[in-house]
Structure 1
Amino acid sequence: MVEERADAGLYGPDSVTWRIHGNQSMALAGFRALSLQAVHPLVMAGFNDNTVWFDDMWGRLQRTGDWVATVTYGTTAEAEKAGRVLRRIHAALPPGVEPESGLPYRVDDPELLRWVHVTETESFLSTYRRCGGILRPGEGDQYVDEMRASAELVGLERHTVPASEADIEDYYAYVRPQLRVSQVARRNTLKFMLPPMPRWVRLGTPARPAWAGMVGLGLAMLPPWARRLYGLPGLPTTDLLATANGYAVRRVLSTVPLVITSNPAYGRALRRTRGPVAA
């Protein structure tokens, strides 16, 4: 009698993706990714025209976290279903125009989807490293390659997405002439640093300065060329300071009970894949 393990999903417990996405650095990585995605004016216009982010910011953040958790730790069927839902949503959104350049856009344009995917992948990987995460030689490339599975879920063809860290650098070099911080991006970044919070939270807890600090650190951890687009220092000393602060943040989070900081989806996936489901 042969026992079969449950479906491990797109990646599985031996993947680099599971290790990185289960790390406490992911919270900071999310801030970095959002800040980097915002320097593409067409992506920012699509986001601004088709979201109620600041009316339901906490709900939107929760849904984004749920997407990453499902794609990373869900079964193959759950990940594929999430991809179908997202593609339907994107396809239903109307085309728009970026106000400063007058350029048209579609949310499901592969060029825009690719930018979002690459910046997310590179942000998760970079932040993990800078917060003290250890990778063996070649595991950075392995992670980038693994993440192409999630790119397919949003509608991209695997061969059009970077498969290595060197590919990501080449992609950034290609796309950088298109990038700038639009007025919409600058305004939304400032709003994001000071989000709506209940009065008792603002006045009775350190939540607001802590949040602003995390957003600011996410900006500081951007590549130097992206920081300069925001009008921030692109000096090597800024990189060193941001790395030290990122490492400190992860150390602090590692002292918080896992019931608070751990991803519940990670725990469910471990339980699912460690035991037999059929004989």
Structure 2
Amino acid sequence: MPEGHTLHRLANRQRTLLGGQVVAVTSPQGRFAQGAALVDGTIFHTAEAWGKHLVQRYRPLAGARRAGERLVHIHLGLYGSFTEQSAPMAPPVGQVRMRIEAADIGVDLRGPTACEIYTPADLDALVARLGPDPLRRDAEPERAFSAISRSTRPIGALLMDQKVLAGVGNVYRAEVLFRAGIDPYRQGTRINRDEFDAVWADLVSLMRVGVRKGRIHVVRSADDHGAPSYAADRPRTYVYRRAGEDCRICGTRIAHSVLDGRNLFWCPICQR
């Protein structure tokens, strides 16, 4: 599932490509036909992300007899993706849930978990149940520390809980805990404020790099050597998907277990 930096990068991209343009919106697949009709022929105003959720805002043309701003909420889930092509767009291929076409560019959405019309109240409810997003300027990290410091759950589970922190996925979870030297099984109540502040600041920094580069980079330049990355098209990691391999820092074998149904990786020596 895409981590939060991917959704923020998509929001930035769509603001650049479509912002301020009148768009034709359809649902070739048919599953979003009613929603598409509500925003078809309106102005693509902006897009923004909260964690792993993308919200597009559409506004009526001046003088149009339509309701006010419309919101489209998208959650890509495991299989959702956006593709782009120049306009006029070719006939859709595959199960296109939503097609957005402007004068010179078009965007297709395939396979999302959610693609739906939202009301302002729906958006308020979504934001209320999400933890702070390290990539948003209005984030309130105090909320996340409050939730963590009162919980006996492992910090490795808490960082993946979207009600605690929005946008953090398995890679960032594994890597920031390694970089902070924190055992993923340590209880939230045993994370002090300085440790939390360091993890939060690291997430902000690393996820901004992810937005800028379009991929996750977590290994410090001094450590960016030795064993290759876990996949040919991925940067190196310290622990993620390196079970049984030598730690880049101390040489100990990287450990692996499953926590709350997700693979967990850590160094038993560097993360005491």
TM, length-normalised to structure 2: 0.28
Q: Greater relative contact order: 1 or 2 (C-alpha under 8 angstroms, separation 6 or more)?
A: 1
TM, length-normalised to structure 1: 0.28
Higher helix share: 1
Higher strand share: 2
Instruction: Tell which structure's C-alpha radius of gyration is larger.
Output: 2
